Every structure is written in structure tokens, then in C-alpha cells.
Amino acid sequence: MLIGERLDAIVISIIVVLNGVFGFVQEYKAEQAIEALRKLTALKAKVIRNGQEIEINSKELVPGDIILLETGSKVPADARLIQIAVFQVDEASLTGESVPSTKNYWLP
């Protein structure tokens, strides 16, 4: 506009505003999709709480909850093993080992 090209300045301004609107809409949709994925992948845990077996979000675990693990379960938190038969854990994401490691329990 300062050099007298009024039409060019208006066209560029419109393009910049439209680009901003499209960018905002795309960012909003991406955030909504990520939030939906977080809700789908929330880790659940089977616990014994107050003498009843219930399923809760792993974020709601508190000291004193007894976690029930079955074949294929993900371990939702650090825990002390109370009773096990054969217990192996796939720690590949932590250690990089390709074979499950066997866990033992001991009484203090």
C-alpha cells in the first residue's frame, strides 16, 4: 500500500487472513483428534478395593489397591508382588531386550 499497489496489498492481505483461518481450523481438528486418541488409550487396571474387584483408570490407583494381572495385562504402576505363579514381563520399551524377563517375589 505504501508504494501505491493497492490491489496487490488487498489480495495479499486476504490470502494471509485466509491462511490464518485455515491454519487455526486444522490445528483445532488435530487437537480434537489427539484428545480422542488419549481417551481411547487410557490404561485401565483391575484392582481389589474395599473387598470388591473393580476396573479403574490407572491414574486413580492409590496405595493399598491390590492390582490383578492376567496374561496380556499391562502393569499400570509400580507394585509389590504378593502372589504369583509364573510371572514374566516384556520390558522391551524400557531395556531394549527382546525376551520377557521373569520376576520373582520375596517376603521381607
Span 54-105, pLDDT tens digits: 998 888 888 888 888 888 788 888 777 777 777 888 877 778 877 888 877 6
Which residues does 59 contact at the CB level (< 8 Å), separation at least 6? 42
The rounded distance, in Å, linking the Cα atoms of 83 and 54 is 19
With cell 525376551, the residue in question is 99
Q: Are residues 94 and 48 in the same domain?
A: yes
DSSP character for 97?
-
Residue 62 lies in a domain: yes
Residue 108 lies in a domain: no
The rounded distance, in Å, linking the Cα atoms of 68 and 47 is 6
> What range defines the domain where residue 6 resides?
1-41
Residue 107 lies in a domain: no
The rounded distance, in Å, linking the Cα atoms of 73 and 98 is 18
Global confidence as pTM: 0.51
For residue range 10-58, list pLDDT tens digits in order: 999 999 999 999 999 999 999 999 988 887 777 888 999 888 899 988 8
**Number of domain units in the chain:** 2
Q: Are residues 60 and 32 in the same domain?
A: no
